[in-house]
Structure formats: structure tokens, C-alpha cells
Structure 1
Amino acid sequence: MEEWLGELVTFFVQLLLVALVVMGAIALGSRGQKSEGREQLQIVDLGQRQRRLRARLVQAMSPKRRRGLWPFKRSSDETKAAGQGDDSRSTAWVLDFHGNLKASGVDRLAREVSLLIDTAREGDDVIVRIESPGGVVHAYGQAAAELDRLNAAGLNTTVCVDKVAASGGYLMACNAKRIIVAPFAVIGSIGVVAQVPNVHRLLKRHDIDVELFTAGRYKRTVTVLGENTDEGRDKLQQDLENIHERFKSYVAERRTHVDIEAVSTGEVWYGEEAVAKGLADEVATSEAYLAQVMSERRVFSVKLSSVPTLAQRLGFSSSAVVDKALDRVEERLDASRWEHR
């Protein structure tokens, strides 16, 4: 019995040592890969993919004796409709932006925009599918500016919103010459919000002092730990109003037919309501719109993505998991404003 227990303990000790070696190798490999910052470019011909899937579906519906033949026997009209070998047609380029509160995908979006500006030809369109509840001002300000570069380059831009483009998400969307929204897509929320918890009274009850030193009258207006003043609160409110005015001006310059005072209350609207308010131009899903575009021109989806490290592939990137969980909690709290309207 004692010999058996000894072997068992030895086995678990060896298993632990192997696990430590593997985790150390993963950590070293992750550092090396992170320093390289490798990326991969994914390009999908959406029209070709749709035709391939349709061929498979039609083949499945055909009698058994004809299966396997139909995809290879096309009439000249079908070939022409598919646009095979026709490089003269203009192209529609599709970008996707799924934004969190920090708009962490903005750097990738910037590089994708640069690629399209360098590659797209005259007459090409850019379709951006946006899904974002908004977030921090500076990050979404950059994201909006990146989309504005497409206009400066003379490219026709269309934004499709299937779920939500609110606050900073709408700040991005309003750069498009055309905004298409799904029937229940959440649009608007042209407003600014700041929420700061304060535990000063709790600390005071426990005789805990917090010393704050600043150089500059308004270096800190309200704080989490210290005692806030009316002057600090007024200054924060003034800052929020200033940002709100800039937000309104930005939208008004790009959606000139909108009654900006009527839509800048922080409210959100859905589908047809957003069109009636002038915040969007048409009600349709992105899939329906892309199907229409694919019948007229070539459509390519373009996406830059980071090559995952070994630790990320094996699920050991704990910091990324924690960050994603915190972002999700904050987004759920923010989205609760309209989900149960």
C-alpha cells in the first residue's frame, strides 16, 4: 500500500513539473510573438461564396442522377450574371467594426482604412457594418475620424447597422453618405455621460484621510476617494456640456437635414423611427443590402486580425479574459437603458 501511494505521489509531482515547464514555454513564446505583432489579412469574395453555397443547395435539391453535374454546366446567362472573368466591374469593400467601451478595435480599423484608400479604384464603394453601444470619447473620436478619411479619399461609404450604433457608434456612422438600419436596430443616444462613485464619507467614518495634490485649478474636478466640491461638480458638468456640443456639431455637419436639437437628447430610436428623424436613410438588414450589391458588382470582405499567441490559443491569456469580462459587464449595464424600453 505504501509503495502504491509513493508511486502516486511521484506521478503527480512529475505531472506538476511538466505543467510548470509547459506554462513557462507558453509564457516565453507569448512574449516573443507579442513583440513581433504579427497580423494576417483575410479577404473573402462574398459574391463567389454566395454562388458556391447556392450551387451546393441546388445540387442537393436535384435528382440523384443529376447531382454533381449542375455546378459544372452553366448557361452563358448564368456565367454572365455571376460576373466570372469580369474585372471591369466596380468593387464594394466590406469592413466590420464591433466596438466595446474602449473601442479597442480602432487601431485595426485605421490600418484597414489605409489599405482600402491605397487599393480602391474610382467608383468603388466601402460598406462598414457597425455594431457598437459607444464608449469613451477619445477612442470613438478617433474611430469616427478614421471613417471620415474614406470620404476625404473620395470613396462612397455606406454604414449598415443590424443591432446597435449608439453614442460613439453613431458618431462613427454619421460619416457615411448613406446609413441603412435594421427594423429594430438601436440608433442615436447623442449625449454624454459620466458616473463617478465616491467613498469619501465611508473613509471619513473610519478616520481615513485622503490627501490629493494637484498643480492646476481643474486638474481634478471630482474624485473617487476625496471630498468633492460644488465647484468641481460644476466644472465636470461644464466639460460634459462642451463635449456634447462638439458631438452635436459633428453630427449636424454630416446629417444636414437633421433637427439636431430634437435628436441630441440622449434618446435612442429604432429602425423606421431613426429614418423619420433623419438619423438613417433606409430600413434593411445588412444581409439584404449586400445581396443587392452582389448582383451588381464584386464584393470583398476585408479584415485584419492578430495572429493569436500560443497562450491565447490554449486559453491561458488570463488578462484578456478578465478585460473582456469587465467590458461585457459595463456594456450590459449601459445597454439596459434601451433593452427594456
Structure 2
Amino acid sequence: MLSFLSDYGLFLAKTMTLVVAVLVFVLGLALIAGRNRKGGAAGEISVTSLNDQLEDMQSVLEQSVMDKDSYKQQMKEEAKREKAEAKARKKALKKGETVESSGRRLFVLDFDGDIKASDVEPLREEITAILTVASPEDEVVLRLESAGGLVHEYGLAASQLERIRAQKIPLTVCVDRVAASGGYMMACLADKLMAAPFAVVGSIGVVAQMPNFHKLLKKHDIDMEILTAGEFKRTLTMFGENTDKGRDKFVEELEDTHELFKEFVSGNRPQLDIRKVATGEIWFGKRALEHQLIDEICTSDDYLMQAARDADIFCVRYEEKKSLQERISDFAVHTGDSLMLRWWDRLYKSRLLSR
């Protein structure tokens, strides 16, 4: 037991010394970076070819499952065909002829929504980039995942998708897990809306809740004064005494927001029986199809794999460039987490061995 405590103490001392040294180093670099930093770091658009990724996966599997001679022969034939195609394109360009693309183009976006729809900032940059090159013959596919959140934030996210519609570019939305409330506000803009069999769809409703501590404050003889200019500047409060008049006004505002939500959804999906589905309920994929909340049962993976047969598919991402200070901060957090996990793992194993 004494040996274990001695080893443990020595290990803890070494770990703390290393952590302190790393933190001092990180703090010094962060201070230097903070002095040299001028404004926020800009982001950049990255584009990857889904077709190339699928071909690489196929090649790896074929190499594993095919015999060596057959695979080598297949590679020779593919190389020969690609060489012939490249030669034909080069010849056409020399003659001044227009070389057409091998097929239509799909631009794939991802939106992973939280309560504040934080992904709206990269989304607007990605859509702006796509609109500079896309045409009505192309297509935008949005892989959407969101359980909803703040009305004004998701209203802005939906407005970004409306920019695609305004340019007459087909918009497809794929829901693999959830598109509810504000998420469905975005999804209903799709020309083609599909969901996985057990994806959660719907929740066309509005909710607001807050705690009220007035009775608790009153019990401890604490007064809370709220001064406003305007009859309904503050309808409900967390600390003051709420009135029936203020409560009624708050509910009236919720109902009006719900009406706007229903008008937006029914305007974009007129086939819906909005009175039947705008109850705040949710449905899984199959039931959502029965209520015409979606157009098809399909996962994003199946849709994109099928489209890759005759289309060039590009995944478009907007990535913010992190400053040196932010990169150092991320490194420090990662290093600290790794050290703590390693320390805990060793301590746990030591306890097991000492038993």
C-alpha cells in the first residue's frame, strides 16, 4: 500500500509539473498572439468530390476481394479509358470546341442546428459561394439535422435556403435524424423533401417557458422592481409578479407566431392539411409521408450514391481560419484532457493491480 501511495504521489507530481509548464508556455504564446492579432480571421470555402471518395472506396474494396491479375487488368483498362477521354477533351479544346461536363452537378451542404441555429453563418457563406457558379440545371442537397430553436435564428436560416429557390436552382433536403420545429421550417422549403424511415419530422408549433421566482423572493422579503416605458414592454418576468393581462398578451404573441409559422409552411407545402399537422406533434418518417410532410422515404446516403451515377457531386464547406491564439487554446484543452484521461487510466489500473 505504501509503495502504491509513493508511486502515485510521484506520478501526480510529474503530471502537475508538466501541466503547469504547458500552461505557462501556452499563456506566453497566447499573449504574443493576442498582441499581433489584427481583427478576426477570415474563413475559406473547401470543396471535396464525393465521386472521388466513392471511387477510392470502391478501388480499395476491389483490390481486397479481386484476385491480383483481374484487378491489375481492370486498372489497365480504366487507365486506358481515362487516357482516351483526356485526349479527346484536349483535341476538342484545340479545335475551339466546347467540352461539356460529364453530367449535372450536385452541391451538398450540411446543417447541424442547435437552439441558436449557429450553423447559419457558415451556411450563408456556402450558399453565396454556390450561387456564383450554380445554374438551374444543377441541384443543391442539404443534409439537415435540427430539433429547432429560436424563431428569428431559424427564420434567417430558412431565408438562406430561399435564396437558392429564388435562383430557380432545385433544392433537395435530406433528413436522416430530425427536422422539427425550426428545422422543419427550413425543410419545408425543399423542392424535394425526403427522410429516413425513423427520422423525426414536424413539431409545427411554438413553445416558451420560464421559471418565476417571485414567491421565493417575497418569502425572503426581497422586492423586485421592474420599470418599463410602454404597456407591453415586459409581459412576463422571472422575478416580478406576473399579471393576467401580461400573461394573456404573451399568449397572444405566441399564437401570432404560430400563425406565421403555419402560413410559412402551408405556403411552401400547399398539399399539407395544415390544421391537421400544425398541432406541435411529431411523426416518424413513414407517418410523415402519410401526412405529406415529406415526399419520399430515403436516407441521404442512398440518394447521393444513386445521384453519383450520372452527376458530379461536390461537398461544400465554409471553414473559419482559427487564429494562432485559438489554435493554441484548442491544443491546450486537448492536451489537458489527454493528460487527465491518461492519469485516470493509470490510477484505475494501479488500483486493480493492488487488490
TM bucket by the smaller chain? Answer: 0.7 to 0.9
Q: From the superposition, tell whether residues 242 and 313 of structure 1 become closer, same or farther in structure 2 (CA, over 3 Å).
A: same
Which of 27-36 and 218-227 deviates more? 27-36
- Structure 1 vs Structure 2 CA RMSD: 2.8
SS of the residue aligned with 1:73? helix
1:238 & 1:34 partners in 2: Cα distance?
47
**Which residue in the other structure is 1:102 paired with?**
116
Q: From the superposition, tell whether residues 315 and 297 of structure 1 become closer, same or farther in structure 2 (CA, over 3 Å).
A: same
Is there any run of 5+ residues in structure 1 with no aligned partner, and where? 1-8, 318-341
Question: Which aligned pairs between 1:162-311 and structure 2 lie closer than 5 A?
Answer: 162-308=176-322, 309-311=326-328
1:222 & 1:126 partners in 2: Cα distance?
42
Which structure has the larger Rg over C-alpha atoms? 2
**Which residue in the other structure is 1:36 paired with?**
40
CA deviation after TM superposition for structure 1 residue 31, in Å: 7.6
**Which residue in the other structure is 1:6 paired with?**
none
Check conservation: 1:186, 1:268, Cα contact below 8 A: yes
1:232 & 1:203 partners in 2: Cα distance?
20
What one-letter code is carried by the residue in structure 2 that aligns with 1:126? V
Which of 197-206 and 117-126 deviates more? 117-126
2:263 & 2:84 partners in 1: Cα distance?
47
1:134 & 1:163 partners in 2: Cα distance?
13
| TM-score normalized by the length of structure 2 | 0.79
Q: From the superposition, tell whether residues 162 and 34 of structure 1 become closer, same or farther in structure 2 (CA, over 3 Å).
A: farther
Check conservation: 1:131, 1:164, Cα contact below 8 A: yes
SS of the residue aligned with 1:171? helix
Check conservation: 1:27, 1:311, Cα contact below 8 A: no
Check conservation: 1:55, 1:71, Cα contact below 8 A: no
Check conservation: 1:59, 1:70, Cα contact below 8 A: no
Q: From the superposition, tell whether residues 314 and 261 of structure 1 become closer, same or farther in structure 2 (CA, over 3 Å).
A: same
CA deviation after TM superposition for structure 1 residue 110, in Å: 0.9
Is there any run of 5+ residues in structure 2 with no aligned partner, and where? 1-12, 90-99, 335-355
1:168 & 1:140 partners in 2: Cα distance?
5
SS of the residue aligned with 1:163? strand
CA deviation after TM superposition for structure 1 residue 40, in Å: 2.7
| TM-score normalized by the length of structure 1 | 0.82
What one-letter code is carried by the residue in structure 2 that aligns with 1:104? S
**Which residue in the other structure is 1:322 paired with?**
none
Check conservation: 1:188, 1:267, Cα contact below 8 A: yes
Q: From the superposition, tell whether residues 292 and 65 of structure 1 become closer, same or farther in structure 2 (CA, over 3 Å).
A: closer
CA deviation after TM superposition for structure 1 residue 174, in Å: 0.5
Q: From the superposition, tell whether residues 128 and 31 of structure 1 become closer, same or farther in structure 2 (CA, over 3 Å).
A: farther
**Which residue in the other structure is 2:96 paired with?**
none
2:268 & 2:19 partners in 1: Cα distance?
62
Tell me the number of residue pairs that the alignment of Structure 1 and Structure 2 aligns. Answer: 306
Q: From the superposition, tell whether residues 312 and 171 of structure 1 become closer, same or farther in structure 2 (CA, over 3 Å).
A: farther
2:147 & 2:129 partners in 1: Cα distance?
26
What one-letter code is carried by the residue in structure 2 that aligns with 1:202? L
2:207 & 2:40 partners in 1: Cα distance?
38
Check conservation: 1:160, 1:180, Cα contact below 8 A: yes
Q: From the superposition, tell whether residues 293 and 258 of structure 1 become closer, same or farther in structure 2 (CA, over 3 Å).
A: same
Q: From the superposition, tell whether residues 125 and 238 of structure 1 become closer, same or farther in structure 2 (CA, over 3 Å).
A: same
CA deviation after TM superposition for structure 1 residue 313, in Å: 2.8
Which of 158-167 and 113-122 deviates more? 113-122
2:262 & 2:314 partners in 1: Cα distance?
33
